[in-house]
Chain A
Amino acid sequence: MAKDEPDNARRLLLGGMTTGLAAAATAPALAQGAGQPSSGGASLQNPATKHPKPPFPAQQQPWPGLASRMNPRPDHGESSYRGSGRLAGRKALITGGDSGMGRAAAIAYAREGADVAINYLPVEEPDAREVVQLIRAEGRKAVAIPGDIREEAFCRQLVDRAVRELGGLDILVNNAARQQDGRSSRTSPPMTSTLR
């Protein structure tokens, strides 16, 4: 998808240059388009075919899994999300910020001008490192705070550290989750682990 963007933008621009009036009309639309979140700018995209469809290759990972080991790799907006200062100067804390929606939010927040702290489990460090690099590539502050939010004491440390290192907190994204198919086990320990 990202590969289409420059072409689409160029086509729009060239189209806009064909007449003065169209150019005048297109310029603000382009400026707005550049600020649109998600991929693709102003061109129409079919949502049914925009991203990979099943069937997917069979694959399995030990919990909690890494995005970097998935096939195909998930798209968190690494090459497509374009910001426009909508969250300039904000300070955000995102749990589960190493992968999935948390990572997509972390990348988008940084590109919208926010400093971002991400929380994740220590075993998710490889994914988290990528996110930290992506945030820093935007010139924003990235704070990595590994730890298990099933422990209340850690939750307190997490917030305290985020506030201290970011210099405050404006956005909290409670996103981390645990899901285990439980048809065969309805026993207490794994259920309690998910509930926490």
Chain B
Amino acid sequence: MPHLKPGAAIINTTSVVAYGPPENIIDYAMTKAAIENFTKSLAKQMAPQGVRVNGVAPGPIWTPLQPSGGQLPGKLPQFGADTPLGRPGQPAELASLYVLLASNEDSYTTGAIFGATGGRGGP
């Protein structure tokens, strides 16, 4: 914190599970709900210092977290099929959100969560 000057930005990765926690990842969903809340309160705390704090809430994204225990192996082949877009997101599809939230262009956005969910759940 002491290193961040006015104009700096903090971006936290939360998740759709913060908004609709499933039965199988209680602990993970707790952390993501906490991160969502943390983002909003920290944004208020940091605003006078000119530091914006925002979050990104991904839906199912095709990352190594999934085949390494994040999903049960039997469920992985259908990963993302239950979203309205019918597929998981790719990390590249969220890059522009992280850029936007870090840039000067987004200077009036703080304490916000931007979703990239494939159409299901989220902020």
Contact = CB atoms under 8 A, between A and B. Distances in A.
A196 B12 CA distance: 15
A58 B62 CA distance: 13
A67 interface: yes
Interface in A13-68: 37-39, 47-48, 51-67
A74 interface: yes
Interface stretch (A3-11, A103-111, A136-144): A103-111
Contacts, number: 220
Given A76-B92, A100-B91, A103-B91, A175 B13 contact: yes
A61 B64 contact: yes
A109 B99 contact: yes
Contact of B92 (A61, A75, A99, A190): A75
Contacts of B71: 181
Contact of A65 (B5, B64, B77, B87): B64
A57 B9 contact: no
A38 B79 CA distance: 22
B92 A77 contact: yes
Interface range for A:
35 or more
Interface in A69-127: 69-70, 72, 74-78, 80-81, 86-87, 90, 92, 96, 99-105, 107-109, 112, 127
A12 interface: no
Contact of B77 (A38, A55, A80): A55
Given A58-B76, A61-B68, A86 B103 contact: yes
Nearest to A48: B85
B90 A177 contact: no
A195 interface: yes
A134 interface: no
B90 A181 contact: no
Contacts of A104: 91-92, 94-95, 98
Interface of B: 3-5, 7-13, 23-28, 30-32, 35, 56, 58, 61-74, 76-81, 85-96, 98-100, 102-103, 105
23 contacts: A53-B86, A54-B79, A54-B81, A58-B74, A58-B77, A67-B63, A70-B62, A74-B64, A74-B90, A74-B91, A77-B91, A100-B64, A101-B58, A101-B91, A105-B11, A105-B95, A169-B8, A173-B98, A175-B12, A177-B32, A179-B65, A181-B72, A183-B23
Given A37-B95, A181-B71, 12 more contacts: A38-B96, A48-B85, A54-B79, A76-B95, A99-B91, A169-B3, A171-B11, A171-B102, A174-B13, A177-B65, A180-B69, A194-B31
Interface of A: 37-39, 47-48, 51-67, 69-70, 72, 74-78, 80-81, 86-87, 90, 92, 96, 99-105, 107-109, 112, 127, 159, 163, 168-175, 177-183, 186, 190-191, 194-195
